[in-house]
Amino acid sequence: QQQVKQSPQSLIVQKGGISIINCAYENTAFDYFPWYQQFPGKGPALLIAIRPDVSEKKEGRFTISFNKSAKQFSLHIMDSQPGDSATYFCAASIVNNAGNMLTFGGGTRLMVKP
């Protein structure tokens, strides 16, 4: 019930293309869904997050799409750039539950080719 499944494990996209990473969860109590971006040698950094009261959130070239009925959410990177090459982690948690931590997906290694 606590798992978050992420796919694909790796992704190669041409510069200017759209990168799409998908996550699925089981626990319907989850109500906070962040994405983290990790560059080599660095810790993951919060990229964008969504609450389930909206179906989409956009910040620049990054968009989260959220499908509550399907228990799925995805990250779309528009006009992908070589500088976007990194590992991306989706996560989920329950807000206002002090004992609940983020549950992370397994990560997706994105490579954007010039």
Partner 1 sequence: GAGVSQSPSNKVTEKGKDVELRCDPISGHTALYWYRQSLGQGLEFLIYFQGNSAPDKSGLPSDRFSAERTGGSVSTLTIQRTQQEDSAVYLCASSLVAGTSSGYTFGSGTRLTVV
Q: Is 93 in the site for partner 1 (CB under 8 A)?
A: yes
Distances 43 to 13, 15, 37, 38, 50 between C-alpha atoms, Å: 23, 25, 8, 6, 21
Beta-carbon count within 10 A of 12 CB: 13
Q: Of the ranges 13-21, 45-53, 58-66, 67-75, which one interacts with partner 1 (CB under 8 A)?
A: 45-53
Residue 55 or 97 with smaller CB distance to partner 1 = 97
Instruction: Give the HSE-up count for residue 70: Cα atoms under 13 Å, Cβ half-sphere.
Output: 10
Q: Is 1 in the site for partner 1 (CB under 8 A)?
A: no
Q: Of the ranges 35-43, 54-62, 64-72, 78-86, which one interacts with partner 1 (CB under 8 A)?
A: 35-43
Q: Is 16 in the site for partner 1 (CB under 8 A)?
A: no
- In the set 46, 56, 67, 113, which binds partner 1 (CB under 8 A)? 46
- CA-nearest of 31, 101, 100, 35 to 68 is 31
Q: Is 28 left (phi over 0), alpha (psi -120 to 50) or beta?
A: alpha
Binding stretches for partner 1 (CB under 8 A): 32, 34, 36, 41-46, 49, 51, 89, 93-102, 104-107, 109
